[in-house]
């Protein structure tokens, strides 16, 4: 029986890469919630409703957002590259703080999960989006290790950044995520804690897959 698997955790914990690899390992569908937020920002930008949230919600009702085969779709068209621009990233950060936008996305995420056999990652999947998910993980690592990984990622991409700044940014993001009034970052009571500080990505996926196999959900 295919179920829904929720993976939550702080910034820099590697949730996206792990969720994608776990989904591939289990033959499940990976749902990139970040792409869903970006799709909303993309629609808002094209409709010129980035500052009028009430109008944006009305516009969203006129469009269809979907996620399948590793890509976000707006009205049946893949928008993978178009939602990765700096402008859309900035709009996404702003719009994701709006309660009305979060409520719209909550309903969308749950509709996608109704298909079953999904791995969804974020910061409030197991606590808010899918509180009844059959298997939940809280993926974390020390702040120092998360900063080191993020530093190496950016260095490999050619960015000039300091370890100190990355660590400070992660620390501030952790504080914001944990203290926000709406859907703060917390470990669900029934979530399995996975500390990846001393584990490779492959070891993390193997550990999670073992839990799934033990739960007889394949």
Residue 214 lies in a domain: no
Q: Is residue 213 part of a domain?
A: no
Q: Is 13 annotated as a binding residue?
A: yes
Paired tokens of 34: 């970040």
CB 201 within 8 A of CB 21: yes
Give the range of the structural domain holding residue 47, as residue numbers without chain letter.
4-206
Residue 217 clears pLDDT 70, i.e. is over it:
no
According to DSSP, residue 139 is labeled: E
What pLDDT, on the 0 to 100 scale, is given for residue 214? 82
What are the start-end ranges of the H helices in the chain? 15-26, 33-47, 53-60, 86-95, 99-113, 143-156, 163-179, 201-214
| Structural domain includes residue 215 | no
Structural domain includes residue 211 = no
The better pLDDT of the pair 193, 162 is held by 193
User: Is 103 among the annotated ligand-binding positions?
Assistant: no
pLDDT at 216: 57
Residues whose CB falls within 8 Å of the CB of residue 32, separated by 6 or more in sequence, listed in order: 16, 20, 67, 70, 72, 121
- Number of folded domains in the chain? 1
11 annotated to bind ligand? yes
Give residue for tokens 């976000």: 72
Residue 21 belongs to some domain of the structure: yes
Is 10 marked within a binding site? yes
21 is in an annotated binding site: no
pLDDT digits (tens, 9 = 90+) for 66-101: 999 889 999 999 998 899 888 898 899 889 889 999
15 is in an annotated binding site: yes
Asked if residue 216 is part of any domain, the answer here is no
Is 14 part of any known ligand binding site?
A: yes
- The model's pTM: 0.86
- Residue 218: inside a domain: no
Given a contact cutoff of 8 angstroms between Cβ atoms, the answer to whether 31 and 67 are in contact is yes
Q: What CATH number did the domain enclosing 18 receive?
A: 3.40.50.300
Task: Write out the H or E segment, with its range, that includes residue 140.
Answer: strand 135-140
27 is in an annotated binding site: no
Q: What is the mean pLDDT of residues 29-51?
A: 93
Is residue 187 included in any domain, yes or no? yes
**pLDDT at 131 (0 to 100):** 97
């Amino acid at each position: 029986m295919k179920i829904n698997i929720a993976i939550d955790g702080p910034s820099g914990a590697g949730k996206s890469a792990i969720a994608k690899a776990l989904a591939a390992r289990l033959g499940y569908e990976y749902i990139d919630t970040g792409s869903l937020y970006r799709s909303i920002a993309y629609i808002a930008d094209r409709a010129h409703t980035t500052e009028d949230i009430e109008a944006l919600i009305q516009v969203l009702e006129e469009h269809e957002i979907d996620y399948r085969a590793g890509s976000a779709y707006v009205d049946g068209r893949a928008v993978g590259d178009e939602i990765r621009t700096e402008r859309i990233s900035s709009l996404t950060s702003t719009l994701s703080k709006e309660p009305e936008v979060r409520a719209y996305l909550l309903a969308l995420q749950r509709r996608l999960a109704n298909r079953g056999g999904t791995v969804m990652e974020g910061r409030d999947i197991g606590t808010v989006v899918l509180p009844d998910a059959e298997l939940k993980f809280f993926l974390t690592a020390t702040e120092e290790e998360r900063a080191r990984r993020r530093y190496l990622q950016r260095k490999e991409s050619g960015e000039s950044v300091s370890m100190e700044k990355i660590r400070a940014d992660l620390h501030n993001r952790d504080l914001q995520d944990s203290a926000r009034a709406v859907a703060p970052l917390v470990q669900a009571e029934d979530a399995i804690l996975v500390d990846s500080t001393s584990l490779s990505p492959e070891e993390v996926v193997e550990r999670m897959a073992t839990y799934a196999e033990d739960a007889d959900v394949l």
